[in-house]
Structure 1
Amino acid sequence: MTVAGVGEFGLIDRVTARLAYGESCLLGPGDDAAVVAAPDGRVVASTDVLVEGRHFRRDWSGARDIGHRAAAANLADIAAMGATPTALLVALCIPAELDPTWAEELADGLGAEAALVGAGVVGGDMSASSVITIAVTALGDLAGRPPVVRSGARPGDVLALAGRTGWAGAGYTVLSRGFRTPRLLVEAYRRPEVPYSAGPEAARHGATAMIDVSDGLLADLGHVAKASGVAIDVTRDAFEVPRQMRDAAQALGVDPYSWILAGGEDHALAATFPAAATLPPGWRPIGRVAEGAGVTVDGAAYDGPTGWDHFRRAE
């Protein structure tokens, strides 16, 4: 069985039959557009794209895992604005000879990840392509709060992190070297564990700036520093190296802090808070904001890659 044999509309029917749409969806797939409730009167929106061979490999990850990753990349952006995700729109471009069950399992992963935050996949599009391409748009609700943007960090703020960094980067290195263990690291790459609720919680506790750590902690903090016109210093000792990561790093000849400080796709959330603020549960301090520019580690420039650039790879 192939996608060509099932046909575009047959595949759409098979995929949409597996999806739940979430409470915010007033009208789901089947019409020219979906209708999603926006009780705040504003909609937070973010789009991301995954291309086979660039963002995922089918010999490394199953379709469900790829669906989880595609959804997580967008849902994390919504959470990083201090908003709650409400819906996903997915455009899928696939080869005609692909087994349709792959698309169905991808939909299962997309739907399951969205369900973690009470959202759903409410619509999208499909097309034929020689390269599998997944474009996801996420929508979110601010619940009456102002968005937490990158440009609000102030000198004296505390830098804090929710979630973990380095796990997905370590898993990527393991897979790229031809291994499948340690399983915990590989699974972290295949299916990130995103602290979605930490974003709105940070907003309620007065976060001054926030960002989704998708391309590497230092690289993403660089966006905050530039947008806010400040310097950010990260404390290396704030990060404990887990045993599995330490053992893998020793076996592969890698500095584990290169994963922790520069590895992406864990989708942790980094935020700045006023010095007098009490950090919300799940957040831990990892550095400080000061006068100046750029990002440093323990007061000095970091000698190594800082993160991912889609056109220059690591930098």
Structure 2
Amino acid sequence: MIDRAVAGRVQPSSTLLGPGDDAAVVRVPDGRVVASTDMLVQGRHFRLDWSSPEQIGRKAVAQNGADIVSMGAWPTSFLVALGCPADTPVAVTDALTDGIWSEVSELGAGVIGGDMVQSEQLVISITVLGDLGGHEPVLRSGAQVGDQVAVAGRLGFSAAGLAALRAESAEFPELVAAHQVPTPPYRCGPAAARAGATAMTDVSDGLVADLGHLGVASGVAVELHADLLDPDPRLRAAAAVLGADALDWVLTGGEDHALAATFPADAALPAGWARIGEVRAGSGVRVDGCSWAGDGGWQSFS
């Protein structure tokens, strides 16, 4: 299985020694490594009747890559650990591998190693390493009162797609596709760092939840404006059919892996970023002056 996963794959120049030994060796030009890990568990994070193995592989890489670019770095190397039942068809593991390599290759990165074990259900754990390129990392803790709050990427699409899948609706294939394979705005992360972003985070759990984490880390409050978060017409159309609130999807749906950041008040936002609010003194996240009364986003143990 390991041979099938690595045969014919191209490694980037940062990989000095790839799969095949006890450990990999990678080049670290900056002298620092940005690292993150995420796990996907069948039945909790994905369903094989809703997503193909190839889509699951791409999604696993995307959510990890988004964590790295939210620090202002660029993903260079991925370590993949796979657990699966003994009777898992080879076609499934091959498709997972193809999906993983497809997303990794788009980043110009490589899969440098990992692990494989038998388990009762399909589990994918990915660790990603990133390069800061000589810049300082953008943390959650740097937001200042008066900063503008901005986002890059889509909000609410994955949540809408999940709602369509749960309702067994075939009316919104584009939204379902957004849930199956997120498209993080990778290049917007390093661009924000170069533009002077004071704080940044990946929107993995939901905009309200993740800006709440940023606010706590920075000791500030975040004020959002609903008119600047106007849901996409495709979200409004789906919400009308599915009996949902499109703005709620935008505020609490996290698996699009958009980026949220704060910038100095007088800073010009880089391409791909749009202002949605500002940083104020205090604590919490407010929408149009009111504390958000709905669910803030994903809770791992709910």
Q: Deviations over 1:86-144 (max 9, x none)?
A: 01000000010010111111111111111222111111010000111000000000011
Matched, 1:205 2:195: yes
Report the equivalent of 2:168.
178
Aligned equivalents of 2:289, 2:9: Cα separation in 1: 49
Matched, 1:63 2:53: yes
Helix, strand or coil: the match of 2:212? helix
Report the equivalent of 1:125.
115
Matched, 1:234 2:224: yes
Report the equivalent of 2:90.
100
Aligned equivalents of 1:109, 1:18: Cα separation in 2: 15
TM-score (norm: length of structure 2)? 0.98
Helix, strand or coil: the match of 1:309? coil
Q: How many residues align?
A: 302
Q: Which runs of 4+ in 1 moved over 3 A?
A: none
Helix, strand or coil: the match of 2:35? strand
Report the equivalent of 1:109.
99
Aligned equivalents of 1:155, 1:204: Cα separation in 2: 20
Change over 3 Å in CA distance of 1:106–1:208 after alignment to 2: same
Aligned equivalents of 1:91, 1:180: Cα separation in 2: 33
Aligned equivalents of 1:295, 1:262: Cα separation in 2: 12
Report the equivalent of 1:84.
74
Residues 13-22 or 150-159, more deviating: 13-22
Q: Is the 8 A contact 2:230 2:247 kept in 1?
A: no
Helix, strand or coil: the match of 1:308? coil
Could you list the runs of 5+ residues in structure 1 that have no partner in the other structure? 1-10
Aligned equivalents of 2:258, 2:300: Cα separation in 1: 19
Report the equivalent of 2:245.
255
Q: Is the 8 A contact 1:18 1:108 kept in 2?
A: no
Q: Is the 8 A contact 1:18 1:104 kept in 2?
A: no
- Displacement after TM superposition at 1:18 (Å): 5.2
Aligned equivalents of 1:227, 1:25: Cα separation in 2: 34
Aligned equivalents of 2:13, 2:261: Cα separation in 1: 29
Q: Is the 8 A contact 2:74 2:132 kept in 1?
A: yes
Aligned equivalents of 2:71, 2:39: Cα separation in 1: 19
Report the equivalent of 1:161.
151
Aligned equivalents of 2:232, 2:272: Cα separation in 1: 18
- Displacement after TM superposition at 1:239 (Å): 2.1
- Displacement after TM superposition at 1:19 (Å): 3.2
Helix, strand or coil: the match of 1:202? helix
Match for 2:88: what amino acid? L
Residues 139-148 or 16-25, more deviating: 16-25
Helix, strand or coil: the match of 1:33? coil
Q: Is the 8 A contact 2:64 2:126 kept in 1?
A: yes
TM-score (norm: length of structure 1)? 0.94
Q: 1:223 aligns with which of 207, 213, 235?
A: 213
Matched, 1:307 2:290: no
- Displacement after TM superposition at 1:252 (Å): 1.0
Match for 1:271: what amino acid? A
Aligned equivalents of 1:132, 1:79: Cα separation in 2: 27
Aligned equivalents of 1:53, 1:23: Cα separation in 2: 37
Aligned equivalents of 1:255, 1:306: Cα separation in 2: 14
Identical aligned residues as a percent: 54
CA RMSD of aligned residues (A): 0.9
Report the equivalent of 1:279.
269
Match for 2:219: what amino acid? G
Report the equivalent of 1:7.
none
- Displacement after TM superposition at 1:23 (Å): 2.6
